[in-house]
Structure 1
Amino acid sequence: MQIFEFKKYPALFAVIPLIAGILVSYIIEAKIPFTASLSALLLQSILFIAIIYFISKTSYINTRYYFILFITIFLFGFIRFQFFYNNFDESSIVNYIEDSKDTEVKVYGKLIEHPDIDEGRIKLLIETDSIKYFNKVISVNCNLTASIYKNKFKEFPPQKIGYGDLIELKGNVQKLPHKRNPGEFDYGQYLKLHGIDAMFTSYGFENIKLIEHNEHSFIKQHILFPVKEYSIKTIDSLIGGEEGEFLKGLVLGERSNISKEIKQDFVNAGVSHIIAVSGLNVAYLTIVLMLILQLFPIKYIYKIIIVFLFLIFYMNLTGNVPSIVRATVMASIFLLSQILERKTNSFNVISVAAIIILIIDPRQLFDAGFILSFWAIISIVLIYPKLHKIASGMKFYQKIGNDPYKGRIIKGVIALFLGTLAAQIGTLPITALMFKKISIVSLITNLFAIPLSNAALGLGFALIIFSLFYTPLAVLTANVTMFILHYLLVSFNYFSNFSFSFLETYSIDYLFLVLFYIAVIVLFFIPQMKTAARLIIVVLLILNYFVINDLIHSTDKVRFAYLDVGNSGTCLISTPGNKNVLIGCGASSVKYTSAERNIIPYLKLQGINKIDVLLITSLSKNEFRNLEFLVKNFQVSRIYIPSYYRSVFNAEHKIFKDCEMKFIENSFVIKNDMMRLFVFHEPAVTTGKSMFVNVQYGNESFIFSDAVEVYDDNYYQTITPRDVTILKAPGAGSFNNISAESLLMTNPKYIVISSLDKKKKRLNSDIFVSSLRSLGYNVIETGDKGAIIFDTDGERTEIVDW
């Protein structure tokens, strides 16, 4: 039997080159002008239609025609992705961001999503029309995400605005953020792949001005919006609380008000998929509608059309989220096959759904939901029959069949377990790579989560319908639904709090993904191979992974990683002997903790489970909050800090009881093989609040002058070598903290400065940077580049491209 039978799987034949074209286009980042992309797309479409027409009219097709068709589809995917992702549209707002940097501008546009409003912030998604800056109004075309924060010193209620309204915003436009550190979620890339070109920030709700209320289409104005608002109001009044928010997530995909703690419980318990409006909702709706329509004497084709129209309605009701669009496309293909009386093929249905979605928006190929949902379905189609065959051959399974009622229930549970297992096997390495975490308890939790959430979903639809006709029945349905939802929430919390409920997978890489799928193929898809031989191959693959991984990561160099954690500089020094020194612990705010978001994830990504030495050169209130989080959630052996802060740590001694605290009175040296850490602390010179660090490895020298408040230049000259390799300037750089004479004396090869957002301080930083660059210094900013990483062997230091 051939692996690919093209006539049997035509959609599969088409989706492979389409995906390949999109991937190649993404990887090579070709820059094709907008008009050229549009012209090429039209030509490709004409050629594609011509080839398909020719093939349909020809009885014998030469292989070369399939090859031409393959290349045509590949080029279509390549150019289609460029059209959405990398095209150069002269009217894009991206072309004006640098010119308007730090300048207050006015943006005019239309709301293309309902505002996300909470007490302190309004979040908007806008299709821009024009921008006004420097008294010039310029037509621009892009999608922009805007965050307008409440002005704490001015009471101004937000204007009532909604989807489709034309508005004016006053504030600052920013380019999409870069990836800050290795292994972190790339938010800027995420926004770009979802069609957003820039960001906008403003402080004060008075900076939102309504220009014109837009009249929506009849369907949206009088059907979609009222139905959604009524459904939300009904759920809030009859259920409410966390259970109500859970149900709104199930039925309508409204998850914005589900608490962070409950979302984390869902993730740790491996059941986050049940609050994503997806195939489950569509399948439920299709089945219920078909059952209801069986009561009416109408032709089967009309029933199919009615179900299809309801699915389109539900897709729009839930906001056209990608997961529901994918499920609707798949269901529509299945319904169409019923009309045409064609036997459906799983691979063709999946492939056609993927083709339609990728033609509409090829950026969906890189969406986590797209990847996981399609891969889960493929895994169930391919792996579930193999698992079921294995289970069917077991004696206990065969004995179950003797009991017609109990056996059916047990077999149903086993089928659910095997289906979940098949999906988990197929998606495990992808989940591990994307989310750095896999749930261990998900096989158990899904056994009750899936059927009970199915029941809650059906009851949710029912109580909304019953509330229209008979309130007592709606109340009864709501009580039953609330009981189920409450039980699920309590259960998820219980399972998520097990110490073994999930496994962090920061060490998983693409090598693991490749070897994992080779192992799956060996275990399930080579029937002629004996079981013992399969197991031996899998064991060898596992051993090879560890050997290759060790070879890849083995090094005789010291790494200096200057992490992007905001204005508070942090550098991780890792030695060949697996000793790790952290200089600075980052800062935090009420809503953001760099230890949680940046430092600890980077440490885990590097396979580091302990900080041997933590040097705190100085400490502010925000840095202390960050230090607390770091010590509570990561092993730190020893902390060095100026004795000036001793009283603070005495008050918080319980938090640091597992750390060896060293309160520094005078300068000292830490030795580790070829590396020397010279820590200078002279209270008479630095006011006692800060320390100065000079790390020497071989002939290379690395200076950390962060936050040293007062320098005596003569003293500075006595403690610093000439021709240093890297100077970490204080904060984001300023001549107020380090003198020009000191810089000239050290003559650093590189100067590293941290990122900064505050305008006034950034002005000083910009002056500092431009002055040094004019003198020929190599200044690198974490705010522009993200983390800056160097490797050194003691003789030569090189920048690592991550």
Structure 2
Amino acid sequence: MKNIRKPGHSERFSLAPYPALRLLLGVIPGILAGVYLPLPLEAWIIISAIALFTLLGSLLYEAIKKRGSSPLCITTLSYTLFLFSSFAAGSDFRMHYAARNGLLSFTGKSLILYGRIATRPAAGEHGTGWVMDVEEVFADGRTIKLNDRAMVFMRSAGEAGKGIRYGDMVRVKGQLNLIPEAANRGEFDPRQAAGMKQVSVQLYSAGPWMVQHEGEPELNGFERFIVKPVADYIMKSIEELIPPGEERQLAAGVLTGEKEYLPEELFEAFRITGTAHILAVSGLNVGLLVLAIHISLQRLKVTTAGRWVSFLLAVFILLVYSHVTGNSASVKRAAIMTAVLIGGETLGRKTFSMNSLALSDVLILLFDPLDLLSPGFLMTNSAVASILLLYPRFTPMTGRGGGAFQAAGRLLFSSFAVTLAAVIGVAPVIAFYFGTFSLIGLLANIPVVLFSTLLMYALVPMLVLNLLSGYAASFFAESAVLFARLTLNSALVFSRVPFASLSWKPDLPEVALYYLMLSAVLFFFSRKAWGRLAISVLLGANLLFWYSFTVHARPVAPLLMTVNLGRNLVTVFSVGGKTLLIDAGRSAGSFKRITQQLELHGYGAPDAAVQFYTPDSLVSRLPVQHHMLQADRLLTLPAMLIMRPREKVLKIQSRESSLLVVSGSGRLQESELYKADIVELWVYRFAEKQQQQIRSWLNYARPTHCILIPGSFLSRTDLAALNRFAAAHPGLEVRSKTRQVVIQ
């Protein structure tokens, strides 16, 4: 009798067809253990060696005894332990160990570094940055050989940074310092991110005149004779055929990942709409390229030899394209996954997409275990896995008939389903790292991804035809400009929709609860257990609600808080339920960082903004009820009185507390107006005269807290003296660009 599966029942899930996924489930805990467990590297190495010898011994025993297909329990355990401890050792070494006698001993010095540019330089508004493999250091009149890495930032404008290329051997002069930590609570931590790339220090170079090229670029044969000519041809074609402007910059970003500067308004528009992924090369670009290769080589696949030629050619093109685009993690992951899928097709074997994704992850983590902790790795995997698991549920198999309108409708619904699946998977990761969630992303991604896809399809034939005829290629270039403009305009239109983006920053337990609930929903959906599915949704929603309700109680807003914005400083002062901002940075985008800090520390929406250093044009545009500009001398609020007795002096008086803000020790006076509980004093020089001024005023005013804020051009000698002065006087502290001041 035939085994007919009853309706409503499904096959049991098994990991047997997913060997790479099983391997990945052992790799991930090992990496996390190496990063977070306080176990020395030597211990991980010993555990790995013991597990390896045990594994080899058990395999030898099985070979001699000629046991069946099932391995011994000791074999399985030793294999799992070896895998776990090996990746733990690798991640521990990369995360917690720096080069002995490396660059850390030279921090705080002005010196010259010699070495190779190890990453593709990233150009921005203010300069160009790259990672450098350092071979020599010239400092204190000595040349020292070493092997370490450093981040380099060269200040430049316009085309000045164009001469810096990947692989160049250069000498760079500048100031070497530790990479700074996060400027404010909950923000991006540059030191941690650089540490994951085995970089601990950064060199600041004043301009291109501080960089000297030495000899030929250090490239291997593949990079020199294939990758570099292809990359040069692509950029030359874009510059020849597409006129300067935002459209060219977008085309370069979509095709090669070039980080040319786009206006801040456009970056913000793509971020708000959740479409920023199209600004950089990703799996989407690789997928479109593979589709073009597949169509072009279709005729070759009729024979076995043709299939192998097609496979090798596709892998070669993917390898070249991955190098041209800078070997980003998302491109490497997509290229490996595609190669696995094409390889399975060539061998005539069935491949599973989730297994291919897991295999690509294992290979990437094998070379860089710490990539597991990068936002890009997590976002790419969550989006791709969600599409693979959810998209088939959203779009059941349907016929292809029905005419053009129904075909267009199916295409539109398919695009929406892909976007919805990706958003469901990636939204918690984006919110966890960036504290935002795009409400308009579902709709915005449809036109933006559509037009950027058409842009890609216009750019590829443009590049091919330009080899034969620039005139023929110009037609596709015009199409590329049109699609680039439509992409940019679509993002701008959707970004202006009210409430397009929502501020939301879950913690790790909330993200884990979300994915557990999503896994339960998928599990019960596949078994058509609708009752259990509903229970899992309700249970997950209740757990999320009560966890947020009990753990995320709104904190009590402190009396004063500072927000670091690079050289600029924002002070938040709150009494009587009223919140006051003093300054707002130097750009309109700074207000978003300020509001995030207000929410994290329990403040309400600010009621007033006072100008101190920020231009009036920015202060006047802040969404607050009251504005005190540079010419204003008095502002009265229900809970406080704000006075400007003279230029660069502010006094805020309330019943509970008072605040004095003064720029320069020369403006201090021994009068009642210059006494306050909390004082912020900007210091630009700290010679004997300034020390005496501050000491005399402190003896008169006796503030409870005094924050000394070093000016941008305060010398290192004066800064060291200022720190010693603050350490000798209780109640004084020196402002740091990586530490907030919070006074309750």
Q: TM-score, normalised by structure 1?
A: 0.79
Q: Residue in 2 aligned with 1:637?
A: 625
1:424 Cα deviation from its structure 2 partner: 0.7
Task: Determine which of 381, 385, 389 is the counterpart of 1:382.
Answer: 389
Task: Determine which of 271, 291, 296 is the counterpart of 1:267.
Answer: 271
Q: Residue in 1 aligned with 2:560?
A: 560
Once the two structures are superposed, residues 381-402 of structure 1 have per-residue CA deviations (whole angstroms, 9 ceiling, x without a partner) of: 222233335xx8xxxxx8x877
Q: Residue in 2 aligned with 1:690?
A: 649
Q: 1:95 to 1:756 in 2, by over 3 A?
A: farther
Contact 1:730 1:738 in 2 (8 A): no
For 1:491 and 1:376, the matched residues in 2 are separated by 22
**Is residue 136 of structure 1 aligned with residue 142 of structure 2?**
yes
Q: Please state whether the residue corresponding to 1:141 is helix, strand or coil.
A: strand
* Letter matched to residue 585 of structure 1: D
For 1:255 and 1:31, the matched residues in 2 are separated by 39
Task: Determine which of 523, 526, 541 is the counterpart of 1:525.
Answer: 523
For 1:482 and 1:43, the matched residues in 2 are separated by 58
Which deviates further from its counterpart, 519-528 or 461-470? 519-528
Q: 1:256 to 1:26 in 2, by over 3 A?
A: farther
For 1:47 and 1:309, the matched residues in 2 are separated by 38
For 1:141 and 1:565, the matched residues in 2 are separated by 34
Q: Residue in 1 aligned with 2:549?
A: 547
For 2:340 and 2:606, the matched residues in 1 are separated by 55
* Letter matched to residue 313 of structure 1: V
Once the two structures are superposed, residues 601-645 of structure 1 have per-residue CA deviations (whole angstroms, 9 ceiling, x without a partner) of: 31244464521355x5xx65xx131x64355233x334568xxx5
Once the two structures are superposed, residues 87-107 of structure 1 have per-residue CA deviations (whole angstroms, 9 ceiling, x without a partner) of: 13213212321xxx1x42111
**Is residue 16 of structure 1 aligned with residue 16 of structure 2?**
no
Q: Unpaired segments of 5 or more residues in structure 1?
A: 393-397, 650-661, 672-676, 792-802
1:131 Cα deviation from its structure 2 partner: 1.5
Q: Please state whether the residue corresponding to 1:633 is helix, strand or coil.
A: coil
1:324 Cα deviation from its structure 2 partner: 1.0
Counterpart mapping for 1:276-287 below 5 A? 276-287=280-291
For 2:709 and 2:430, the matched residues in 1 are separated by 32
Which deviates further from its counterpart, 210-219 or 246-255? 210-219
Task: Determine which of 200, 208, 211 is the counterpart of 2:211.
Answer: 208
1:116 Cα deviation from its structure 2 partner: 5.1
For 2:447 and 2:207, the matched residues in 1 are separated by 47
For 1:740 and 1:482, the matched residues in 2 are separated by 64
For 1:162 and 1:401, the matched residues in 2 are separated by 50
* Letter matched to residue 564 of structure 2: D
Q: Residue in 2 aligned with 1:767?
A: 721
Once the two structures are superposed, residues 18-77 of structure 1 have per-residue CA deviations (whole angstroms, 9 ceiling, x without a partner) of: 222222333357675xxx599669848955984896699563334454343333322222
**Is residue 88 of structure 1 aligned with residue 98 of structure 2?**
yes
Q: 1:65 to 1:742 in 2, by over 3 A?
A: farther
1:409 Cα deviation from its structure 2 partner: 4.0
1:425 Cα deviation from its structure 2 partner: 0.8
Contact 1:564 1:755 in 2 (8 A): no
Counterpart mapping for 1:140-151 below 5 A? 140-149=146-155
* Letter matched to residue 606 of structure 2: I
Counterpart mapping for 1:100-499 below 5 A? 101=108, 103-115=109-121, 121-149=127-155, 160=163, 162-214=165-217, 216-241=219-244, 242-296=246-300, 298-388=305-395, 403=402, 406-499=405-498
* Letter matched to residue 137 of structure 1: T
Which deviates further from its counterpart, 503-512 or 367-376? 503-512
For 1:151 and 1:381, the matched residues in 2 are separated by 44
* Letter matched to residue 139 of structure 1: K
Contact 1:178 1:187 in 2 (8 A): yes
Once the two structures are superposed, residues 342-385 of structure 1 have per-residue CA deviations (whole angstroms, 9 ceiling, x without a partner) of: 32123321211111101111121122221111111111122223
Task: Determine which of 577, 598, 604 is the counterpart of 1:603.
Answer: 598
Q: Please state whether the residue corresponding to 1:572 is helix, strand or coil.
A: strand
User: Quick one: percent identity of the two aligned structures?
Assistant: 19
For 1:94 and 1:193, the matched residues in 2 are separated by 16
Q: 1:705 to 1:238 in 2, by over 3 A?
A: closer
Counterpart mapping for 1:709-748 below 5 A? 709-713=666-670, 715=672, 719=675, 728-731=680-683, 735-736=690-691, 739-743=694-698
Q: Residue in 2 aligned with 1:659?
A: none
Which deviates further from its counterpart, 76-85 or 207-216? 207-216
1:291 Cα deviation from its structure 2 partner: 3.5
Number of residue pairs the alignment of both structures matches = 719
* Letter matched to residue 773 of structure 1: A
Q: Residue in 2 aligned with 1:395?
A: none
For 2:724 and 2:622, the matched residues in 1 are separated by 39
Which deviates further from its counterpart, 55-64 or 171-180? 55-64
**Is residue 74 of structure 1 aligned with residue 78 of structure 2?**
no
1:453 Cα deviation from its structure 2 partner: 3.0
Which deviates further from its counterpart, 480-489 or 515-524? 515-524
* Letter matched to residue 632 of structure 1: R
Q: 1:691 to 1:251 in 2, by over 3 A?
A: closer
Contact 1:386 1:524 in 2 (8 A): no
For 1:565 and 1:628, the matched residues in 2 are separated by 18
1:129 Cα deviation from its structure 2 partner: 1.0
Q: Please state whether the residue corresponding to 2:133 is helix, strand or coil.
A: strand
Q: Please state whether the residue corresponding to 2:136 is helix, strand or coil.
A: strand
Task: Determine which of 777, 782, 786 is the counterpart of 2:739.
Answer: 786
Counterpart mapping for 1:24-43 below 5 A? 24-28=33-37, 32=41, 43=49
For 1:52 and 1:112, the matched residues in 2 are separated by 43
1:566 Cα deviation from its structure 2 partner: 5.4
* Letter matched to residue 431 of structure 1: I
1:282 Cα deviation from its structure 2 partner: 2.3
1:272 Cα deviation from its structure 2 partner: 2.2
Contact 2:684 2:714 in 1 (8 A): no
Q: Residue in 1 aligned with 2:614?
A: 624
Q: Please state whether the residue corresponding to 2:454 is helix, strand or coil.
A: helix
Q: Residue in 1 aligned with 2:634?
A: 663
1:168 Cα deviation from its structure 2 partner: 1.6
Q: Please state whether the residue corresponding to 1:611 is helix, strand or coil.
A: coil
For 2:51 and 2:619, the matched residues in 1 are separated by 55
Q: Residue in 2 aligned with 1:753?
A: 708
Q: TM-score, normalised by structure 2?
A: 0.84
Contact 1:270 1:439 in 2 (8 A): yes
For 2:60 and 2:416, the matched residues in 1 are separated by 48
Q: Please state whether the residue corresponding to 2:281 is helix, strand or coil.
A: coil
For 2:438 and 2:477, the matched residues in 1 are separated by 31
For 2:652 and 2:329, the matched residues in 1 are separated by 51
For 1:52 and 1:229, the matched residues in 2 are separated by 54
Q: Residue in 2 aligned with 1:799?
A: none
Q: Please state whether the residue corresponding to 1:771 is helix, strand or coil.
A: helix
Contact 2:642 2:652 in 1 (8 A): yes
For 1:295 and 1:737, the matched residues in 2 are separated by 86
For 2:683 and 2:569, the matched residues in 1 are separated by 6
Q: Residue in 2 aligned with 1:584?
A: 582
Contact 1:29 1:86 in 2 (8 A): no
Q: Please state whether the residue corresponding to 1:343 is helix, strand or coil.
A: coil
Q: Please state whether the residue corresponding to 2:299 is helix, strand or coil.
A: coil
For 2:413 and 2:585, the matched residues in 1 are separated by 50
Contact 1:437 1:506 in 2 (8 A): yes
Q: Residue in 1 aligned with 2:4?
A: none
1:299 Cα deviation from its structure 2 partner: 3.8
For 2:542 and 2:601, the matched residues in 1 are separated by 25
